[in-house]
Amino acid sequence: MPIHNEDIAQVFDQIADLLEIQGENAFRVRAYRNGARELRGLGQEAAQLLAAGADLTDLPGIGTALAAKIAEVVHTGTCQALKKLERELPADLPELLRLPGLGPKRVHALHYDLDIHTPEQLYRAAKDGRLRDLPGFGPKTEAALRTALETHFTSEPRFKLASAARYAEPLVAWLRQTPGVDRVVVAGSYRRGRETVGDLDILVTARQPAAAIARLRDYEEVVQVLEAGDTRATVILRAGLQVDLRAVAVECFGAALHYFTGSKAHNIALRTLARAQGLKVNEYGVFRGRQRLAGETEASVYAALGLPYIPPELRENRGEIEAARRGLLPELVTLDDLRGDLHCHTNATDGHASLAEMVAAARQRGRDYLAITDHSKRLTMAHGLDSRRLLEQMAAIDRLNERLASEGVAFRVLKGIEVDILPDGGLDLPDPVLGQLDLVVAGVHSQFHLSRADQTRRVLKAMDHPYFTILSHPTGRLIAEREPYDIDMTRVIRQARDRGCYLELNAHPERLDLSDVHCQMAREEGVLISIASDAHGIQDLDDLCYGIAQARRGWLTKGDVLNSRPLKDLLPLLRRTFHA
């Protein structure tokens, strides 16, 4: 089995958890967590870097010790340091750290004093009243843990961005109705546009913070109030989503918004930068000694540190602070930059709306073009198109375009297909038919479990095809449901560059495929990205907003996006310059 960065990151996280429970130096613990984060955001496999002879200590946060452990895991699949810790402590103990109210000190006590190391054991102890006499615990902690465990056993951990939005928007509207409340903004990973969010961080400015907090407690979806102070409250919604509300003064709004937007790693990096300038940054502002220099807006916070404004989607400590210092921040693509959509389905296959309905909906949304890309015959369960049915659809599109033109409508329906990439790398329709299309979107819909070598070879071969235009959902992952298939994305991105074809950022909220990191890699290689809805119905056409969030997280500018081009510039790009 090849070792992936995620595998190594998990080893480091486990080491960090166990060291923390043992009471090890907090900065040593943090070093492992930083190492895990660096690996997850790396974009290319550490195993490959090692194979190419790279020095991993060149990576930020990776020194000789961590580099040696990475090599050890890559070469042996295990890590002796972790094994040693697991001999000293139960390996499942860190799971307790995920419970609200439990940190390393209390987990340490649970293990050493009561021999508790699973949530189930903890729940029994809480019910039996055995926790309250433990040092650092009491009756309230015991009761809170009991409730937290009951939630833990039933709720889902993270919410997809689109799903979180369904809870966030009505709650924001509710809070806006509080008398005296001025601004209500969702910060946190939601504002950074992460593909999943763990909780909602909501910031309000209010003359009377207590009114906003009371209003939150009254919200009908609130099933539990975890804490409620003068300026902060934490509640749980019926769906299991945690909401943290903070009320701040108007003059601190920017500093607070910045602080609660995070990411944690970005904030730490920024504070470190501030310290070097003799400044202090907290949620109230930027300070030199007791003098407050900034804080009303986020831009003022950055300006006080000598930086331009950094958009929330970039705040992951993946080079954005250095780019800001050097004036090299990208001007990120926006939803308004998109001129059309290059991937959707109709009821000819597994879509819910007709060709005419999809086109009308796209026009209504102000788009200039829409590519119809139904499935090909291999996907029988989606009633995929064979050559005859595809040719019929193409004729229907021609007629529709003629009618639009005769009505003086500046809109173009593009003839396309989402053709299956067969296990051998061939495409699921004959060349004479594919050659008549405006574009060929091609994707993997079967045989997800090929080896990395075979899967990579399969896709690279498909991209060699003269009519191949765009690789749809390049890694096949479904967020929190299906892992990406094992494929060498570095080679796929380089192949796209060499062959003059494109990669899709599938905007469906369950896919968001490419990932942010792969978008950034594609950008660095000069490969254009199609941000596409993959709509199977009219409403799905609005999912482009999630694709935009992901694209921004991947540092993409308007120029990096294929479908930001007006039609006249797009059409030549769809004609392949390369021929196999």
Partner DNA sequence: GCCGTTTTCGGCCCGACTGTTTTCAGTCG
State residue 501 phi and psi, 5-degree precision: -120, -175
Helix or strand (DSSP H, E) at 268: helix 264-276
Rule CB under 7 A: choose which of 17, 45, 142, 560 binds DNA: 142
* Contact pick of 43, 61, 94, 547 for DNA (by CB under 7 A): 61
The answer to whether residue 319 forms part of the interface with DNA (CB under 7 A) is no
**Closest distance of CB 132 from DNA, Å:** 6
Given a contact cutoff of 8 angstroms between Cβ atoms, the answer to whether 463 and 425 are in contact is no
Q: Per CB under 7 A, which region of 60-68, 117-125, 371-379, 416-424 contacts DNA?
A: 60-68
What is d(CA 5, CA 142) in angstroms, rounded to the nearest whole number? 38
Contact status: 48 vs DNA (CB under 7 A): no
Among 40, 146, 232, 389, binds DNA (CB under 7 A): 232
Instruction: For residue 39, give both structure tokens.
Output: 């690996």
Q: x/- site string to DNA, residues 96 to 125, per CB under 7 A?
A: -x-xxxxxxxxx------------------
* DSSP character at residue 292: E
What 3-state DSSP class applies to 371?
strand
The CA-based diameter of the chain, rounded to the nearest angstrom, is 83
Alpha carbon distance 247, 21 (integer Å): 33
SS3 string, 497-529, reads HHHCCEEEEECCCCCCECCHHHHHHHHHCCCCE
3 state SS of 312: helix
- Strand 369-372, strand 412-420: pairing: parallel
Among 1, 64, 408, 572, binds DNA (CB under 7 A): 64
Shortest approach of DNA to residue 285 CB, angstroms?
10
Considering the complex, what minimum distance in angstroms separates the CB of residue 549 from DNA? 20
Contact with DNA (CB under 7 A): which of 132, 292, 363, 457?
132
Candidates 170, 229, 466, 526: give the one binding DNA (CB under 7 A).
Answer: 229
Is 240 a binding residue for DNA by CB under 7 A? The answer is no
- The reply on whether position 163 binds DNA by CB under 7 A is no
Residues of this chain, 455-514, that bind DNA according to CB under 7 A: none
479, 473, 553: which is closest to 519 by C-alpha? 553
For the bound state, the minimum distance from the C-beta of residue 253 to DNA, rounded and expressed in Å, comes to: 15
Rounded least distance, CB 482 to DNA, Å: 27
Binding mask 362-401 for DNA (x = CB under 7 A): ----------------------------------------
Interface with DNA (CB under 7 A), residue from 11, 46, 164, 281 = 281
Is 41 in contact with 316 (CB distance < 8 Å)? yes
Nearer to DNA, 12 or 485 (CB): 12
Q: Which residue has the tokens 């650092």?
A: 136
Q: Which residue's CB is nearer to DNA, number 272 or number 436?
A: 272
Q: What are phi and psi of 166, to 5 degrees?
A: -65, -30
Binding flag, residue 139, DNA (CB under 7 A): yes
SS (H, E, C) 404-450: HHHCCCCCEEEEEEEEEECCCCCECCCHHHHCCCCEEEEECCCCCCC
| Choices 133-141, 291-299, 326-334, 401-409 (CB under 7 A): range interacting with DNA | 133-141
- C-beta closer to DNA: residue 76 or 354: 76
Contacts 24+ apart (CB under 8 A), 386-389: 386/429, 387/429, 387/430, 387/433, 389/348
Q: What are the CA-CA distances from residue 60 to residues 39, 47, 65, 165 (Å)?
A: 10, 17, 13, 34
Between CA 5 and CA 46 the distance in angstroms is 6
138 binds DNA per the rule CB under 7 A: yes
The answer to whether residue 17 forms part of the interface with DNA (CB under 7 A) is no
What values do phi and psi take at 96, rounded to 5?
Answer: -65, -25
> How big is the site for DNA, counted in residues (CB under 7 A)?
65
Exactly one of 50, 71, 211, 268 binds DNA (CB under 7 A); which one? Answer: 268
Interacting span for DNA (CB under 7 A) from 130-138, 396-404, 464-472, 493-501: 130-138
Given a contact cutoff of 8 angstroms between Cβ atoms, the answer to whether 375 and 349 are in contact is yes
40 binds DNA (CB under 7 A): no
**Binding residue for DNA, selected from 40, 130, 158, 271, defined by CB under 7 A:** 271
Q: Which of 53, 136, 289, 327 binds DNA (CB under 7 A)?
A: 136
- Rounded CA gap, 223 and 242, in Å? 10
308 binds DNA (CB under 7 A): no
Q: Closest approach of Cβ 160 to DNA, in Å?
A: 19
Rounded Cα–Cα distance for residues 117 and 535 (Å) = 46
Interaction between residue 545 and DNA (CB under 7 A): no
Q: Give the interface with DNA as residue ranges (CB under 7 A).
A: 25, 27-28, 30-32, 34-35, 57, 59-67, 81, 97, 99-107, 132, 135-142, 144, 188, 199, 201, 227-232, 242, 244, 260, 264, 267-268, 271-272, 274-276, 278, 280-284
